Structure 1
Amino acid sequence: MFVVNRPLQVVFRSCAFLVACLIGAQSARAVEFEAPVVSRVDLELRIGEETIDVIHRGDLLTVLKEDGDNVLILTFNGKRGLVDRVNVANLAESVEVYDELLKEFPSEARYYTLRASAWWARGDEIAALGDYDMAIEKGYKEAHAYSSRGMFHAAIGNYDKAISDYTTAIEIDPADESFHINRAAVYMSQNRFDDAINDYNSALEIAPEKASSLQQRAVARKLAGRLQEAVADFTEALKVDPNHVPALMGRGFLHYQSGRHEKAIEDFSAVISLNPKAADAWNNRGYNRQQSGDFAKALADYDEALKLAPEYVLALTNKSWLLSTCPDEKIRHGKHAIEAATKACELTEFKDIGGLKALAAAFAEDGQFEKAIGWQEKAVELAPDAQKDGELKLLEQYRDQKPMRLADNG
C-alpha cells in the first residue's frame, strides 16, 4: 500500500484577485473529502474587508462539498470558503492550467510536480513520471518529489527505480515515516519481506502507535513465515485501534491457519459487527464454524455472504461443499449443492479445480455418479502433481458409487 504524500502548495504573488466568500477559519476534521480541485484564477478569502487567505492560480484545494454553482473548499492553510465552480478545475482537467503557468514561469520546477498530479488523475502515469523527472532535473530536490516519483515508478513496475527514489527521499528526510512505508511496499511486491520488515521497523520508531504500520508489518512477518510475530503485530494494532478491520481480518486468518477456529470466529464476528456488509468476513466466519462442527451456522454465514455478493465464487464453492459433504444429513442437499457449484464453475469458466471438485461432490451427493465421475476427471486433469493422488482416490470413490463426506477429506 502506498502512502500518498501531501500535495505541495505553490505560492506566487499576483496583483488582481477575485473575491471568495469565507465560511470559517477552523480546519476541517473528520470529513470525507472529495477529489481535490485546482484554482484557475487568483482568489482572496475575506471576512468583510479582512483578507483571511489567498489562493493562487494552480493551488490545490480540498473539496468539502459541492453545492450547485459553488464549491466549499479547504485551503492549504486550513481556511474554508465558498468559491464559484467556474473558478476551479477538477484535478484531471487541470493540465492546461499548469501548461499556462509553465509558459509564464518556465523555471518554476514545482509546477511540474503539480502537473504530474493532474496527469496521474487522468491515468497517464508516463506523463506524470516525465514531469517529476523534469522537476528534479530543474533542481527541485525536495524529499517528497523523489518519493512521489518513486510512487509513479512503482505503479508501472519500475521497482528498482522506485526503491532508489524512496532511498533518496529517506536520506533527505529520514523522519518522514511515509517514505519508509512506501519503500516497504515495493519490497513486499518483490517478496523481499525482511527488507520490508526493516522499513516498517523504522516507520514505527518514528510513529510507534500507528495501527496501519503495525498491520502492514504483520503482513510482512506473516509472509516471511514469522507467524507468532505477525499475530503479535495484529494484536498490537488492535490495541491502538480496536476497530481496525484489516488487523482483525489478518489475525482471524492466522488463527484459522493455526487451527484456532474459535478465536478466528471471534475476529471475523468483530469485523461483521463493524461492517455487516463485509461478505468476506461472513464467508470466513462460516468456514471456521464449519471447521468447528457448527454446520447450521456455517451454512447461514455462507448464505449471508452470497446475499451481499451473489457472485462470490469462494462462498458458492464453500456452500456447495458443505451441502454435499456434511456429516449431518439434515444439512446435506444435493440439488442446492449442484446449483451453487454450477454457478461457481460458470463464473470461473470451469477452469477452477475447487469449483470442479465441488460440482463432482454435489452430483455424487445427488446420486448422479456418472456426472460426478466426469467432473472429477476434469479436476484430476487440472490438479498439480502433489495433489493428483488425492484426486484420483476421490475419483475411485465416485466410481464405487460412494459420495464424499467431510471426514473422507481429512
Structure 2
Amino acid sequence: MEACRNRRIETFAAITLAMALCAIGYADEAIRLPSWIEPTSETEAVEQAAYAPAPRPFDHEPKLLTPPPRLASIGQETDSVRQVRQLEHAASTAESHHALTRLLKRCDETLASLDAPALRQQAERVASWARHARGRLVMQRGDAKKALEDLRAAVAANPKNTAALGDLAVALAEAGDQAVALETLDQLLAIDPRSVVGLQNRASLRLALGNPGLAVADCDASLAKLVDDAPDRPAVLTTRGVAFHSLGRLREAAADFDEALRLDPKLSPARTARGHVYAEAGYYEQAISDYRGALDADPESVEAYRSLAWMLATCPQPSLRSPQTAIEAAWRARRLLGSEDFLTLDASAAAHASAGEFAEAVRLQQRAVVLADPTSAAEAQQRLRLYERGKAYVAGGPAMLKR
C-alpha cells in the first residue's frame, strides 16, 4: 500500500493542485470517457500519434514585470543622471525579447561610464529587471534551462530582487535541480518571510523531495497570511491536502480538498487528488467520479487520464472495471504527456492486461520496468511476471481511513 501511495503522491509534488466535489457513483455501463475522445485500441495509433508538449511542473505563467522604481531626485541633472533616466524610460516600454536585449546592451554601456555609487546601483537595478524580464519570456516559451542564465544574472545584479529569486527557483525546479531550487526559495524567504508564492513553491518542492511534514508547515504559514476569500487559498489548501495524504492522514487531506472545492469547485487537478484519497479509502465509485469530473474540467489532464485508466483496469471491485475505457484513457495520457514515464506505461500495461491483451501488456510493462524508480521497481517486476503468465493485475484492498 505504501508503494501505491507513492504512485499517487509523486505526480503532484511540484505543481499547485485543487479539486471539485463530485461524489455521485456511476454504474458500470455509465463509465465512459467524454464524447470528444477519439476511441482507438490500436497500438500503432499510440506509437504514431503526434504528441503534444508535456505540461510544465510549475503553473506560473510569466507576466510583464513592473519596471524598477525610478531614480529619486538628486539635485542637478548631470549627463550621468540623464543616462540613468533614459534607461528607466526604456525599461518602461521594453516588452519584447529584442527590446530587452537592446536595453541590456545600453545598461552595460552606461555602467561602464558611471562612477557615482547611487547611479551605478540604479543602473544595476534596471539591468537586473531587464534580465529577469527576458528570462521570463524565455520561460514562457518552455525553455527553463535557457532562462537560467538571465535569471541568475538578474539575481547577481540585485541580490534582493525577490521576484527574480522566485522565478529562478521555478526555472531550477523545471530544469530538474530541485535541491538548488529549494535553497533559492530559502534565500527568497529570508528576505521576504511573508511571500505567499515563495511559501507555496517551497511546500511543493519539499513534498517532491520527500518532506511532507515541512510542506505542511509551509502551507500553514501561507494560509495564516491569506484571508478566507484570497484567490490563492484553494491552491494552498490542496497542496497541504496532498502533503497530508503523503503522511497517511487521509481525513485531514479530505477536509482540505473539500474546503478547496468549496472555494473553487472547478480546479481539475484537485479533483484528481481527492479521487486518490477516495481510492485509498475504498470509495472506488467516488474516485472514478472525481477522475471523470477532473477530465470534464480539464480535457488535457494527464494525471486524471492515467488515474482513471489505473482504476478502471485494476479496481478490486470487478463491476467497476472497464478494460476498453482504461485502454483509451491510458492512450490519451501517453499522447498528452509527450514522452514516456513509468506511471503512464504501468497504467497502459495494466489496461491491456485487463482486456486480455497480454502480449501488449508485457511489451509496455517491460518499458515501464526500465523507467521505474527504486520504490516501484519490485512491484513493477511482479506485474510483468503476472502478464507473462497471462494474468491481469488487480489492486489490493484499500487502506483503513487513518485518524
- The equivalent of 2:165 in structure 1 is 183
* Counterpart residue number, 1:196: 185
State whether residues 316 and 344 of structure 1, in contact with CA within 8 Å, keep that contact through their aligned partners in structure 2.
yes
Match of residue 132 from structure 2: 151
For residues 316 and 187 of structure 1, the distance between their equivalents in structure 2, rounded to whole angstroms, comes to 29
Are 1:163 and 2:155 counterparts?
Answer: yes
Deviation of residue 258 (structure 1)?
1.3
Partner Cα distance (2:239, 2:352) in 1: 35
Q: How many residues align?
A: 305
Structure 1 residues 134 and 289: alpha-carbon distance in aligned structure 2, compared to 1, 3 A threshold: farther
Q: Give the structure with the higher percent strand.
A: 1
TM-score for the superposition, normalised by structure 1: 0.63
Amino acid at match of 1:164: A
Residues 1:296 and 2:278 aligned together: no
Q: Give distance in 2, aligned partners of 1:254 and 1:213.
A: 17
Match of 1:215 in 2: 200
User: Of residues 93, 107, 130 in structure 1, which corresponds to 2:105?
Assistant: 130
* Aligned counterparts of 1:221 and 1:346: Cα–Cα separation in 2: 29
**Among residues 361, 365, 379, which one is paired with 2:354 in the alignment?**
365
Structure 1: runs of 5 or more not aligned: 13-103, 171-178
8 Å contact kept, 1:237–1:247: yes
Deviation at 1:289, TM superposition (A): 1.5
2:213 to 208, 228, 243: 228
Match of 1:113 among 75, 78, 88: 88
Q: What is residue 330 of structure 1 aligned with on the other side? A: 319
Q: 2:185, 2:198 within 8 Å by CA — same for their partners in 1?
A: no
Q: Aligned partners of 1:214 and 1:388: how far apart in 2? A: 33
Distance in 2, Cα, partners of 1:386 & 1:301: 27
Q: Distance in 1 between matches of 2:352 and 2:209?
A: 40
Q: 1:323 to 1:237 in 2, by over 3 A?
A: same
| Partner-residue secondary structure (3-state), 1:407 | coil
| Cα distance change of structure 1 residues 349 and 112 upon mapping to structure 2, 3 Å threshold | closer
Deviation at 1:106, TM superposition (A): 10
Q: Distance in 2 between matches of 1:331 and 1:347?
A: 25
TM-score of the pair, normalised by structure 2: 0.64
2:213–2:247 Cα contact (<8 Å) kept: no
Provide the residue aligned with 2:298 in structure 1. Answer: 309
8 Å CA contact 1:150, 1:165 repeated in 2: no
Identity, % of aligned pairs?
Answer: 24
* Residue 377 (str. 1) matches residue 379 (str. 2): no
Change (3 A) 1:6 1:381: closer
Residues 201 and 349 of structure 1: CA distance in aligned 2, closer, same or farther (over 3 Å): closer
Distance 1:131 1:239 in 2: 44
CA distance in 2, matches of 1:341, 1:222: 26
Q: Secondary structure at the match of 1:286?
A: helix
Is the partner of 1:236 in helix, strand or coil?
helix
1:295, 1:148 → 2: CA distance?
50
User: For the Cα contact (< 8 Å) 1:325–1:332, is it kept in 2?
Assistant: yes
Q: How far has the Cα of 1:383 moved from its partner?
A: 4.1
Matched, 1:273 2:262: yes
Classify 1:387/1:298 alpha carbon distance in 2 versus 1 (closer, same or farther; 3 Å): closer
- The 2-side partners of 1:409 and 1:371 are apart by 28
Structure 2: tracts of 5 or more residues without a match: 1-59, 74-78, 137-146
Confirm or deny that 1:254 pairs with 2:235.
no
**1:387-402 pair list within 5 angstroms:** 387-402=376-391
Q: Is the 8 A contact 1:285 1:298 kept in 2?
A: yes
CA deviation profile, 1:33-53 (whole Å, cap 9, x unmatched) = xxxxxxxxxxxxxxxxxxxxx
Q: For residues 250 and 233 of structure 1, do their structure 2 counterparts lie closer, same or farther at Cα, with a shift above 3 Å needed?
A: same
| CA distance, structure 2, for counterparts of residue 202 and residue 220 of structure 1 | 19
